[in-house]
Structure formats: structure tokens, C-alpha cells
Amino acid sequence: MSRIESIDEGVLERICDVLGDTSSGLTGSEIGRFLKGLEINDPIPGMTRRVRLFEALRARQRQDRCANLVIAFIQRVMEPVRYTGQSDYYERKRNELNEVLAFCGLSLHEDGKLRRQEQAACTLTEAEQRAGRLRSELRRRDVHVDVLAFCKPELLQKNYFHAVFEATKSVADKIRTRSGLTGDGTELVDHAFGSGKIGMPFLAFNTLQSDTERSEQSGLMNLMKGMFGAFRNVTAHAPKVSWPVTEQDALDLLTIASFLHRRLDAAARTPRTE
């Protein structure tokens, strides 16, 4: 592994606050086990979890004059396999860490790996300015209210990808709400809008009486599946997680999400039950 520049100690302290949180962080025994596994000295095992972890990682970073073992510790703790059956908890903890890691230009992705970010925010003010610009332009475009909710500074501290990613998730959620179905991504779209064996979808964008209307139904399905393929299926599209999304990209992609929200609001629920 190449040398990783030391993390600012103020940022490191906040990372340890998240990992050693009394109610949701590592237990004392887990901290000891992870430190030992990486051969990091545990100088004050009797202290509170946050302080104990901070002192151990700070001392090792100073000794090494780099953050390699700090990064290794975070990745070891946040290995996804440790959170099997606890996906909601894992995402909450990952998001908490990312709010802090943004200040040193890093982001923890769904695969448990830390990566450099092209657009890391240096300050909350910078993230708020991004959110303000994005929200202002989207309002000018009269985008759907359900999309504006994702122009949040905490999302834009990471990069624009996260705002688009969350907005895409909201489209899937609306499909589930309108159709009563479960599932996600392209499978959900096919189930909700496909005609199935009985020749009737759960949700219809029109009366489906003409070739033109059936073509519209198919086209909107493909548009949704394309969006989900690019932003929801991050395991199959791992490189997409770290690809740079510019502010202009985010505007255009959020506008597409707005269009789909409007069409979903107007879609009709058919009598189909299975």
C-alpha cells in the first residue's frame, strides 16, 4: 500500500467519536481485538471507548508519520460481512463516518473501502453553498418537490453522486408505494410496469390502447431501468461509485428523477393483484 498522508487529529477524533459511540459504536472488547489484529498498541485500555481508540490511533499515526494503519483499522471495522442482516445499521454508521471523512477528502463506500473523492468539501459552508446553488437551479427548472429534498449539505459534502443516488432511491420508493410491490431496481420496474402473463401492469402511464401508448409505457420503463442500472446497482457497477459527477451532471440527472416522479404521480393503479 502506498503511503497515505496523516489525517488531521481533529478529524481523527471525530472518527473515533463515531466508531466508539457509547450507544452504537464498537464494544470495548471489539476495540481491543481490532487494535491487536493490526498490531496497534492499546495504551489506555481502561479509558472510555472514544478516548481509548483516539489515543491508540493517534499514537500509531504519529509513529508511522502516515495514516495507513488508521485507514486499515476503519476498513477492518467496516467490512460489510460483519453487518450481515444489519444493512440499515451499517448504512447509518457509514453515513456518520462519511460526514467526517469528507473533511479529509475520503469516502467510505458500500464495499467497505475508503477512496479519495474528487469533490470533497473542506467546510460546511462550502457544502451549503453547493446545496444552495443546486437547489436554486432545480427550483428554476420547477423540479418535483420530492427531488429537492436531496439537495442537502451532508450529501454534497461527499460529492454530487450521493445526491443523485439518494434521489434515485426515492423513485424506487415511490414505485413501491404506488404499486404495493416489494423489490428494487430493474426487477421492480419490470414487475410494476410489465404486462406479465395476464397482459396488464400494476401501474400504467396511459390507457395502453394504441401502439403509441404501449411504446410510451415501454420507453418510460427503460428510462427508469437505465437510471437504476447506473446508480442503484453499485455492486455490479463498482466503478460508477467513484466516478465524478459534476454539478451540471447532477442538475441534469436530478431533472430526470423529477420527470419520473411526475409521471409516477400521474400513473394509474390497475386492478391487477398478482
- Alpha-carbon gap, residue 188 to 171, rounded angstroms: 11
User: Are 20 and 31 in contact, with CB atoms under 8 Å apart?
Assistant: yes
pLDDT tens digits, residue range 146-167? 988 887 776 676 578 888 888 8
Q: How confident is the model at residue 122 (pLDDT cuts 50, 70, 90)?
A: low
C-alpha grid cell, residue 132: 444552495
- Whether 103 shows a pLDDT value over 80: the answer reads no
By CB neighbour count within 10 A (0-12 exposed, 13-18 middle, 19+ buried), where does 39 fall? exposed
166 CB burial (10 A radius; 0-12, 13-18, 19+): middle
- Between CA 113 and CA 75 the distance in angstroms is 6
User: 245: closest CA among 145, 107, 113?
Assistant: 107
Residue 117 pLDDT level (bands cut at 50, 70, 90): low
Tell me the mean pLDDT in the region 2-6: 86
**pLDDT the model gives residue 123:** 62
Contact partners, residue 11, CB within 8 Å, separation at least 6: 100, 101, 103, 104
Residue-level pLDDT at 127:
66
Computed over every residue of the chain, the mean pLDDT equals 86
Q: At what angle do helices 49-64 and 9-19 cross, to 10 degrees?
A: 140
Band of residue 259 on the pLDDT scale cut at 50, 70, 90:
very high
Higher pLDDT, 209 or 196: 209
- The mean pLDDT of 196-212, rounded to a whole number, is 92
Question: Is 223:231 a contact under the CB 8 Å cutoff?
Answer: no
Contact, 34 vs 76, CB < 8 A?
yes
Q: In whole angstroms, what is the distance from residue 255 CA to residue 262 CA? A: 11
The residue among 134 and 144 whose pLDDT is bigger is 144
Contact in structure between 151 and 240 (CB atoms under 8 Å)? no
What pLDDT shows up at residue 238? 45
- Give the per-residue pLDDT at 237: 44
Q: How far apart are CA 20 and CA 18, in angstroms?
A: 6
What is the distance between the alpha carbons of residues 217 and 209, in angstroms, rounded to a whole number?
11
Residue 214: per-residue pLDDT: 94
pTM value surpassing 0.85: no
In three-state secondary structure terms, 269 is strand
* Residue 234 clears pLDDT 50, i.e. is over it: no
- Cβ neighbours around 43 below 10 Å, total: 13
